[in-house]
């Protein structure tokens, strides 16, 4: 046992000086051990690109050299390049394993890489200053030789594209260093060698410059402008039109147009705004926006007179020098017990483009809602078209609800769009189950063009006009974005004595097919036309707000062969004119110097009237039109805008919003905040929240448009 005193003495003894011979032996042994262990092979796990990143880099370099000039050439060479790249990847992976076998999946196995030249491996001797630079450059040459041994020799490329492929797929050669690196620096993204001392790992702190280089190495290079992937082409077809001009009453006192009860424009622009984009002005049809909302206009007392008109003259909120002439029409509301039998044919587009959540799936849910609204004696047929038209369900009574729903649920998308064949088949089935004195209607649901068969809008118009004369009408329901043919929808709906609606949500489907089912399905008057004659003694100028695509010639009003819009049960239609009272000083059209029309009350009757409103219509089963007239005078006028009814004021707010979205001159200085103020004050009863949603859309447009 060692005495404590001995330990204390040993602790106090001085350390003997090292023996020079022992030092020499130790140093020689260390040098010998180092020379044996030293290898020029790469150490650690240097930074490099994964296989997918290499492929992306290759494609980027090819595009930067502009070897691919057109999409067609791209398509021709893309497949060979991809195959060659995959082949080279597989060969490289095989060489890495050392036995020519792939031992891991390409996605999981990292590619062997070399350290950055100015970042030596941890167990490499660190040499300062110029000596280190010289040694590092020599190491780079050695590493290039090692790379040549690891990578299989590539044949001489025949083209620049082949050269890029082989250059990219081969292991990376290390370029010459540009500056000495700090000691202990690691390659970006690399792992320390397992044999490196832990202390060296803890003390390794790259310099600021090295850190910047590291960020550049791990961040992908920005995509050049000419390589940015193009967005999916928007093939929506929208009819372009010019806003109605201001007319001088002395030269052009008569305005004639067809009524319009379509609502597609409102739901389409609503979707655009909710997606954060101002709608294309040509998608904004002001009359469809106004007529989207239900109004409590006064209706007729009996079906003998299918509708009643109410005219109000009020000050214009966006122009203190003009007035608005507000024309409101209300259709007779057929009571549920009196509704005629319905013979409906669902004509459904199941082409490949319908395979999106807001298309066929939404369409199926929408038609399920409609089926639940039908009476047991109503009849439903289903025709689909995609490449070829086919009958999915022969005429079936709505009492067999489950059978109809099962047929709807089985619909699947696929193929092109043979719309013409589908329409012909649908009309054929409608004629098979035709209901005399009932509702016979084809209900077309689609997302776009008819790209097979008779695709021209005029040809489709003629086909539908022919079938319309048999008593079978047609309505169109649009779904989705990017392929919507709104122009075709408007054309065939107008000529099919039907409506055109755009369904973007299930709530909109419920509105169109359930809440408004009576007005959508049951026509009480067809070919309804409006003609207004303005009195030049009272009105200097006028312009019709909206209805640009519904304009008719003056002589068309009395021509019963000219088709016009229809009114359904309980439906309301609103038209608004902005008029300039004579002598107000707000005229925009200069008076004629020669031949100015006589407007003095020299025996002229009705000189105190603003205008004379005439409405022509036909009963559903008749071909001879009837006439309703309404004079507009001081009895129809209110002294202030606030004295007008809530529905009148709200519809004016909607008209102002539509003009604002179309960037029309009349509302250029009328702010969105003022529109919100008017609409909010006239919101009234809003059981379905339509008016609240409108206020939200105005605020969205204000934020997107800069609150002009």
SS (H, E, C) 45-77: ECCCCCHHHHHHHHHHHHHHCCCCCCHHHHHHH
Q: DSSP for 331-343?
A: E----GGGPPPEE
Res 66 pLDDT > 90: no
Q: DSSP for 177-207?
A: PSSPPPTT---TT-B--TTS-HHHHHH----
How high is the pLDDT of residue 27?
Answer: 76
Average pLDDT, the chain: 75
Kindly report, as residue ranges, where domains of CATH 3.40.50.410 are found in the chain.
356-495
Pick 429 or 23 by higher pLDDT: 429
Separation of alpha carbons 98 and 95, rounded Å? 5
* Confidence tier at 363 by pLDDT (50, 70, 90): very high
Residue showing tokens 């109809």: 404
How high is the pLDDT of residue 387?
Answer: 60
- 575 bridge partner residues: 327
Alpha-helix runs per DSSP H in 559-671: 646-661
Report the SS3 class of residue 499: coil
* Confidence tier at 423 by pLDDT (50, 70, 90): confident
Tokens at residue 640, please? 């202030």
What residues contact 706, with CB distance under 8 A and at least 6 apart? none
Contact in structure between 385 and 439 (CB atoms under 8 Å): no
How high is the pLDDT of residue 448?
Answer: 73
Alpha-helix runs per DSSP H in 433-485: 457-468
Separation of alpha carbons 295 and 308, rounded Å? 13
Residue showing tokens 């020098």: 321
Separation of alpha carbons 370 and 358, rounded Å? 17
Tokens at residue 542, please? 């006028």
How high is the pLDDT of residue 270?
Answer: 95
* Confidence tier at 563 by pLDDT (50, 70, 90): confident
Beta carbons within 10 angstroms of residue 301's beta carbon: 9
Res 133 pLDDT > 70: no
Res 121 pLDDT > 90: no
Contact in structure between 337 and 344 (CB atoms under 8 Å): no
Contact in structure between 284 and 662 (CB atoms under 8 Å): yes
Mean pLDDT of 347-366: 90
Separation of alpha carbons 138 and 146, rounded Å? 13
pLDDT tens-digit readout, 17-49? 767 777 788 777 777 765 544 455 554 445 555
Tokens at residue 246, please? 């201001």
Res 312 pLDDT > 90: yes
Q: For 263, left (φ over 0), alpha (ψ -120 to 50), or beta?
A: alpha
How high is the pLDDT of residue 370?
Answer: 92
Give the start-end residues of each E strand in 465-610. Answer: 473-479, 500-503, 523-534, 539-545, 565-568, 572-581
How high is the pLDDT of residue 310?
Answer: 94
How high is the pLDDT of residue 692?
Answer: 96
Q: Which of 287, 336, 332, 245 is nearest to 543 (CA)?
A: 245
Kindly report, as residue ranges, where domains of CATH 2.60.40.1230 are found in the chain.
247-334+524-583+607-705
User: What is residue 424's DSSP assignment?
Assistant: H
Res 177 pLDDT > 50: no
Least confident of 243-252, 397-406, 601-610, 619-628: 601-610
Res 215 pLDDT > 70: no
What residues contact 181, with CB distance under 8 A and at least 6 apart? 118, 119, 120, 210
C-alpha to C-alpha distances, 76 to 72, 79, 82, 340, 415, nearest whole angstrom: 6, 7, 11, 61, 25
How high is the pLDDT of residue 389?
Answer: 67
Separation of alpha carbons 379 and 359, rounded Å? 25
Res 154 pLDDT > 50: no
* Confidence tier at 191 by pLDDT (50, 70, 90): very low
Q: Which of 112, 186, 181, 114 is nearest to 143 (CA)?
A: 114
Contact in structure between 329 and 427 (CB atoms under 8 Å): no
How high is the pLDDT of residue 638?
Answer: 96
Phi/psi of residue 574, each to 5°? -125, 135
Tokens at residue 100, please? 């020519």
How high is the pLDDT of residue 186?
Answer: 35
pLDDT tens-digit readout, 662-677? 999 999 999 999 999 9
Res 127 pLDDT > 70: no
How high is the pLDDT of residue 351?
Answer: 85
How high is the pLDDT of residue 236?
Answer: 66
Contact in structure between 451 and 416 (CB atoms under 8 Å): yes
Q: For 415, left (φ over 0), alpha (ψ -120 to 50), or beta?
A: left
Separation of alpha carbons 408 and 390, rounded Å? 14
3-state percent helix, strand, coil for the chain, nearest multiple of 5: 40, 20, 45
Q: DSSP for 113-160?
A: ----TTS--TTSPP--HHHHHHHHHHHHHHHHHHHHHHSPPPPPPSSH
Phi/psi of residue 658, each to 5°? -60, -45
How high is the pLDDT of residue 484?
Answer: 74
Least confident of 79-83, 500-504, 534-538, 686-690: 79-83
Mean pLDDT of 364-385: 92
* Confidence tier at 219 by pLDDT (50, 70, 90): very low
Report the SS3 class of residue 410: coil
Report the SS3 class of residue 640: coil
How high is the pLDDT of residue 591?
Answer: 73
Res 319 pLDDT > 70: yes
Q: Which of 523, 638, 541, 645 is nearest to 585 (CA)?
A: 541
How high is the pLDDT of residue 108?
Answer: 40
* Confidence tier at 106 by pLDDT (50, 70, 90): very low
Res 573 pLDDT > 80: yes
**Architecture per CATH, 356-495:** 3-Layer(aba) Sandwich (3.40)
| pLDDT over 70 percentage in the chain | 63
pLDDT tens-digit readout, 157-176? 444 444 444 444 444 444 44
* Confidence tier at 462 by pLDDT (50, 70, 90): confident
pLDDT tens-digit readout, 320-335? 999 999 999 998 888 7
Res 679 pLDDT > 90: yes
How high is the pLDDT of residue 670?
Answer: 94
How high is the pLDDT of residue 329?
Answer: 94
How high is the pLDDT of residue 608?
Answer: 87
Give the start-end residues of each E strand in 600-671. Answer: 611-618, 626-632
Res 639 pLDDT > 50: yes
Res 110 pLDDT > 90: no
Q: Which of 278, 369, 289 is nearest to 691 (CA)?
A: 289
Res 386 pLDDT > 90: no
Pick 447 or 398 by higher pLDDT: 398
Pick 691 or 58 by higher pLDDT: 691
Res 268 pLDDT > 60: yes
Q: Which of 490, 491, 450 is nearest to 347 (CA)?
A: 450
Contact in structure between 247 and 255 (CB atoms under 8 Å): yes
How high is the pLDDT of residue 130?
Answer: 41
- Of the candidate CATH numbers 3.40.605.10, 1.20.1250.20, 3.40.50.150, 2.60.40.1230, the domain formed by 247-334+524-583+607-705 belongs to 2.60.40.1230
User: What is residue 636's DSSP assignment?
Assistant: G
* Confidence tier at 55 by pLDDT (50, 70, 90): low
Mean pLDDT of 134-153: 44
Res 425 pLDDT > 70: yes
Residue showing tokens 């002395």: 250
Separation of alpha carbons 647 and 638, rounded Å? 14
Q: Which of 431, 347, 356, 359 is nearest to 390 (CA)?
A: 347
Mean pLDDT of 617-623: 88
């Amino acid at each position: 046992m060692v005495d404590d005193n001995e330990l204390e003495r040993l602790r106090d003894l001085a350390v003997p000086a090292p023996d020079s011979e022992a030092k020499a032996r130790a140093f020689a042994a260390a040098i010998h051990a180092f020379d044996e262990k030293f290898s020029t092979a790469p150490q650690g796990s240097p930074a490099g690109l994964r296989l997918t990143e290499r492929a992306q880099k290759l494609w980027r370099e090819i595009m930067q050299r502009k070897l691919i000039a057109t999409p067609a050439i791209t398509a021709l060479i893309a497949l060979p390049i991809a195959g060659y790249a995959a082949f080279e990847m597989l060969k490289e992976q095989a060489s890495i394993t050392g036995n020519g076998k792939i031992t891991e999946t390409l996605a999981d196995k990292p590619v062997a890489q070399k350290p950055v030249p100015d970042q030596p491996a941890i167990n490499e001797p660190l040499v300062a200053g110029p000596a280190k630079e010289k040694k590092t450059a020599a190491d780079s040459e050695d590493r290039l030789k090692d790379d040549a041994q690891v990578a299989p020799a590539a044949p001489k490329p025949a083209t620049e594209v082949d050269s890029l492929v082989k250059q990219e797929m081969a292991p990376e050669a290390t370029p010459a260093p540009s500056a000495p690196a700090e000691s202990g620096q690691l390659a970006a993204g690399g792992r320390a060698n397992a044999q490196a001392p832990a202390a060296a790992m803890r003390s390794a702190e790259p310099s600021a410059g090295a850190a910047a280089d590291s960020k550049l190495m791990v961040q992908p290079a920005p995509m050049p402008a000419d390589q940015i992937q193009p967005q999916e082409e928007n093939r929506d077809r929208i009819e372009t039109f010019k806003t109605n001009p201001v007319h001088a009453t002395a030269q052009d006192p008569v305005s004639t147009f067809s009524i319009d009860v379509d609502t597609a424009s409102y739901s389409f622009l609503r979707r655009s705004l909710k997606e954060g984009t101002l709608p294309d002005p040509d998608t904004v049809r002001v009359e469809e926006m106004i007529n989207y909302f239900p109004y409590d206009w006064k209706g007729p007392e009996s079906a003998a007179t299918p509708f009643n008109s109410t005219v109000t003259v009020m000050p214009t909120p966006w122009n203190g020098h003009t007035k608005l002439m507000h024309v409101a029409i209300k259709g007779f509301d057929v009571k549920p017990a009196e509704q005629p039998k319905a013979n409906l044919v669902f004509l459904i587009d199941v082409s490949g483009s319908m395979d999106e959540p807001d298309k066929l799936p939404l369409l199926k849910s929408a038609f399920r809602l409609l089926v639940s609204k039908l009476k047991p004696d109503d009849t439903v047929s289903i025709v689909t078209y995609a490449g070829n038209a086919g009958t999915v369900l022969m005429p079936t009574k709505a009492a067999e609800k489950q059978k109809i729903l099962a047929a709807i649920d089985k619909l699947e998308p696929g193929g092109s769009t043979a719309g013409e064949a589908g329409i012909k088949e649908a009309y054929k089935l409608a004629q098979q189950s035709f209901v005399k004195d009932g509702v016979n209607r084809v209900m077309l649901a689609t997302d776009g063009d008819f790209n097979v068969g008779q695709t021209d809008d005029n040809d489709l118009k003629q086909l539908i006009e022919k079938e319309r004369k048999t008593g079978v009408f047609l309505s169109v329901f649009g779904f989705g974005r990017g392929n919507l043919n709104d122009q075709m929808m408007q054309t065939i709906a107008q000529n099919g004595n039907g409506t055109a609606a755009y369904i973007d949500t299930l709530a909109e489907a419920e509105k169109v097919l359930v809440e408004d089912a009576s007005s959508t399905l049951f026509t009480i008057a067809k070919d309804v036309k409006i003609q207004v004659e303005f009195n030049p003694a009272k009105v200097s100028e006028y312009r019709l707000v909206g209805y640009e695509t519904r304009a008719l010639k003056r002589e068309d009003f009395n021509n019963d062969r000219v088709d016009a819009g229809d009114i359904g049960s309980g439906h309301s239609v609103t038209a608004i004119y902005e008029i300039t009272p004579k002598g107000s000083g707000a005229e925009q059209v200069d008076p004629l110097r020669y031949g100015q029309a006589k407007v003095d009350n020299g025996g002229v009757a009705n000189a105190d009237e603003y205008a004379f409103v005439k409405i022509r219509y036909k009963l559903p089963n008749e071909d001879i039109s009837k006439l309703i007239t309404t004079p507009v005078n001081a009895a129809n006028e209110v002294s202030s805008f606030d004295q007008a009814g809530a529905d009148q004021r709200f519809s004016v707010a909607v008209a102002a919003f539509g003009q604002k979205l179309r960037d029309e001159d009349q509302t250029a200085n009328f702010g969105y905040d003022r529109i919100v103020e008017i609409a909010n004050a006239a919101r009234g009863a809003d059981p379905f929240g339509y008016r609240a949603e409108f206020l939200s859309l105005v605020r969205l447009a204000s934020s997107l448009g800069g609150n002009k």
